[in-house]
């Protein structure tokens, strides 16, 4: 891995992926995104990992896409490269994925953070889609996920002006889970990850799928999907252990089976 570092046991049952292109403020080039996708695939196959934290640096989560890599390309070049297939792989990560964001999360950086399931932000974080300023528009989900998080009017303003929002405004609108001082954002992400890692991995995977389905379908279909996943948990050893532990008034010991 040239542009990321991976720590499979950053905390018990919690892995860390850190973007590492400091001179470019973690700009997202094709290789970096492929490395992230490959790391997520490997971590998802590791039963010792239950939750994954994705972060950048204190100065920048990711300041955007690598414009130098795209500037001279044609529409056919972009179609042939099919860079968004990598984003689709990341989106399909079945383990809980938490973004720990400080500093710039702009353009592709904002889109990458929104691809994660939850976002913990430092008070210096900025979220924005400034692509309009260079004659293009978001292409990795910015117009879709931002609108779902902020509503049409606020998302439209951000996309059409390129103006970012602060971490506190992002929190008010529900784009991020919480905002903490800059020295605490990664530890806060680890704390959130640790609380999830204690739960049944089977139930967490099925619950994540169900929440995501709420954004992809109408209510009746979403409820049907939720109930099917609910029934499926009763085929797991974790469900038997969890309910037995509750009845016996002891901590549950989930094995992910």
Active site residues: 65, 108, 111, 131
Q: Is 171 helix (H, G, I), strand (E, B) or coil?
A: helix
Of 1, 7, 48, 44, the closest CA to residue 21 belongs to: 1
Q: Are 189 and 98 in contact (CB under 8 A)?
A: yes
**Mode of pairing for the β-strands spanning 60-62 and 104-106:** parallel
Q: Rounded to the nearest 10 degrees, what angle do helices 201-213 and 219-233 cross at?
A: 170
CA distance 4 to 215: 30
Of 142, 151, 157, 100, the closest CA to residue 124 belongs to: 100
């Amino acid at each position: 891995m040239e542009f990321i570092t991976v720590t499979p046991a950053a905390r018990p049952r919690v892995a860390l992926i850190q973007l590492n292109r400091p001179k470019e403020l973690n700009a997202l080039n094709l290789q970096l995104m492929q490395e992230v996708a490959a790391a997520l695939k490997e971590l998802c196959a590791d039963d010792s990992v239950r939750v994954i934290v994705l972060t950048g640096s204190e100065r920048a989560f990711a300041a955007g896409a690598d414009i130098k890599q795209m500037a001279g390309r044609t529409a056919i070049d972009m179609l042939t490269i099919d860079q968004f297939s990598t984003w689709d792989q990341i989106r399909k990560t079945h383990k809980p994925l938490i973004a720990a964001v400080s500093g710039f999360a702009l353009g592709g950086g904002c889109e990458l953070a929104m691809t994660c399931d939850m976002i913990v932000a430092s008070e210096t974080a900025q979220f924005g889609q400034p692509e309009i300023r260079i004659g293009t528009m978001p292409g990795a989900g910015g117009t879709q996920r931002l609108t779902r998080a902020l509503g049409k009017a606020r998302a439209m303003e951000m996309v059409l002006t390129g103006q970012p929002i602060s971490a506190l405004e992002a929190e008010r609108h529900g784009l991020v889970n919480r905002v903490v001082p800059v020295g605490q954002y990664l530890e806060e992400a680890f704390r959130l990850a640790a609380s999830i890692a204690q739960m049944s991995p089977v139930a967490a995977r099925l619950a994540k799928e169900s929440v995501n389905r709420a954004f992809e379908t109408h209510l009746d279909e979403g409820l049907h999907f939720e109930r099917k996943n609910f029934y499926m948990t009763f085929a797991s050893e974790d469900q038997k252990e969890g309910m037995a532990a509750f009845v016996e008034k002891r901590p549950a010991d989930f094995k992910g089976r």
